[in-house]
Every structure is written in C-alpha cells, then in structure tokens.
Amino acid sequence: MSASAQVKRVSVPDIAARKGQEPVVILTAYSVSMARLLDPHCDCLLVGDSLGMVLYGLDSTLPVTLDMMINHGAAVVRGSSRACVIVDLPWASYQESPQQAFRNAARVLAETGAQAVKLEGGEEMAETVDFLVRRGIPVMGHVGLTPQAVNALGGYRARGRSDAEQQKILGDARAVAEAGAFSVVVEGVVEPLARTITENVPAITIGIGASPACDGQVLVSDDMLGLFGGFTPKFVKRYAELGDQISSAAAEYAAEVRSRAFPGPAHLFGVKKG
C-alpha cells in the first residue's frame, strides 16, 4: 500500500466539529501540481470559481461552466490525499431550483470525488441548501460579498457598512446554517459583523476579508503567493512573490538559449561507445 493510500482524508464532519476550536486552514487549488504542494498544510482545498479570473483571464466568475469546475475539481482530488476538497457550483448551475442544484451538485461529487460543494446566497438559497443536505450532499454556504452577484451588488465593495445591510447578511448566514450548511464563507464584510456572525451561527465560519475571530480562513493561492499580478485586494497578505521569481527565471532561461549557453554538456545525451 502506498503512503498516500494510508493517509486519512479530512472529512466534512471533521471540519464541522472545529467550531470554536483550532482555526480551519483553506486555500484554493485548481491543478494537480498545486494540490500536491498545498495538501500537507491545509485542512481543505477549495476549487473556487475564481479559477475563471485566475487561470482563464475572465473579467468575472460568471462565464465559468460546470464542466470547467468538474475538470479542475477532479485534478485537485487526484493531486491531494489529506485535505477535504470542496468545489464551487458555478453561476446559473443551481439558482433555478433545488432540483437543478441537486443534479449538478451530484455530478460534481460523482465526477470529481470531492467531499462537498459550495454555493453563494443567503435566505433565498436556504431551501436549496436543505434540499441538498437532506439528499446527502454536504454544502458550504457563502454570504457577504458574493462574486456571482457582482452585477446586482454593483461591484466588489465591502459589505455590511449600514445597519440594514448588517442585519441582512447576518440573517443570510443564519438561514443557510439552519438549513444544514456545515460551513459558511463570510467574504468582504466589516470586521464586527464577521465576529457577530461567527458567534451567532452554528456552522463554522470561514473568513476572507472578514475577521480573525472566524472559525477558519481562506485565500486565493495565487494572490497569497504573488502569482496573480495587478490589483491586490486589501484582505490579501502576500507570503511570497513567486511571480517575480518566475519572470526572473524565464528571463535567465531566454538569455541562455539566445546565447547558446543552454543546453550545456550536462543536459545532452552522448553516443555510448562499444
């Protein structure tokens, strides 16, 4: 039996039991290679629809398809052995009805081997969350700044600055948690609100631009590693600048190829004598 086969993958009940305990560590992953690197360090790997912007250069997550999510989700499952893998349901794959959501969520789990799906929305999605959970599909919710609703929200600004907005987001978090979501991502909200949500919902909360009081944290790996150039959101801490290192390495490679310094004798195959 291989070493990887002996590793017990973190389960949804394992994560759900972490409420108020050691914070849950989550990063995004979209490929086998990245999953292998992140797996030893993360409790969960999120195959986010952010891949549309990070990998495909799209302006938003809205054009991401179910097939894209399934292909990348399967790759992350193959590249990991320990972390609980959660796959986003993309825009328009679950909002029409609970039945539509079930068909597509079932496809995701069956075709990727992931442990759970994530969907955005609050009170309006509670019926769908309940429908999925009752049929054996673990659900992670997502409230606050919900990128799939960027057009309705009018952009990616922080949420919860008014009392009315705070009450709406708190109500959304309660609704999806009471419907059975084992976890709720709280994104881009003012810190006191994220703290209040964490204290008032039974599901574990996963912050991104929220509060250290949340039960866990998630970041887009490419942002955290300095691979995704351009604008850096306020809530992102860059733990490396790999983009600069990759550019520098590519420049050195290009210079050596043009000068014929690469390939050198150590990289060539000779003719065997005798």
- Which residues have a catalytic role annotated? 187
The answer to whether residues 140 and 184 touch, using CB atoms and an 8 Å cutoff, is: yes
Residues with Cβ within 8 Å of 196's Cβ and at least 6 positions away in sequence, in order, are 166, 170
Map tokens 């000068």 to a residue.
259
In sequence order, the β-bridge partners of residue 207 are: 186, 217
Closest CA to 87 of 17, 30, 19, 16: 30
Rounded to the nearest 10 degrees, what angle do helices 66-79 and 98-112 cross at? 40
The total number of residues shown for the chain amounts to 274
Map tokens 């075709």 to a residue.
111
In sequence order, the β-bridge partners of residue 116 are: 86
| Other Cβ atoms within 10 Å of 5 Cβ, number | 7
